[in-house]
Structure 1
Amino acid sequence: MIRSELVQKIASENSDLRLEEVERIVDAFFDSIVDQLATGGRVELRGFGAFSTRSRESRTGRNPRTGAPVAVNAKSVPYFKPGKEMRERLND
């Protein structure tokens, strides 16, 4: 499912909301998660899972074309840990 399909599904299940309103709600939801993660925070949605960031150390990589060593800087990457309820529903 892509973002536009999510918006359509929510709009079809909530006839009192216009499509534009649902788009703004979905955008605000995702923006809030990204903003929280950008400040080093954590977002927990009970029954669904938790979003957080993990740190990757700097390392030496390789250019795939030339094989030359390339310095890769340290960075933060998003991480998602599924909740117990989600894991149970997926494995039923």
Structure 2
Amino acid sequence: MNKLELISAIKDKANISKAEAARVVQIFFDSMTDAMANGDRIEIRGLCSFYVKNYKSYAGRNPKTGKKVVIKPKKLPFFKSGKELKERVDVK
């Protein structure tokens, strides 16, 4: 499902206009992005959680040349699925 399909599903289920559904989705994504940019954890019970993982600087290698390079510290977003989501996806 992509963003347009999500907007369409919300429009149909909530019986609202496409513009209103698009605004709801945009507010949701903007709020999540802002929270993660501030280093906050996002938890949606039963579904998933998002968090920012901090990586320290380390020595790596350029795969083409084999030269050692210093990898700068960085922060990356991570997703962890919830128990209920795992169970629902793993239907046998």
Q: Tell me the residue number matched to 1:35.
A: 34
Aligned counterparts of 2:10 and 2:66: Cα–Cα separation in 1: 48
Aligned to 1:21: 20
Normalising by structure 2, what TM-score?
0.85
Shift of 1:63: 3.5
Deviations for 1:10-56, whole angstroms, at most 9, x for unmatched residues?
112222x1111111111110111111111111111011011111111
| Structure 2: 5+ residue stretches without partners | none
CA shift digits 1:31-88 (9 cap, x unpaired): 1111111111111101101111111121233344444333221111111111111011
Alignment RMSD, CA only? 1.5
Identity, in percent, stands at 40
Structure 1: gaps of 5 or more residues? none
SS in 2 for 1:35: helix
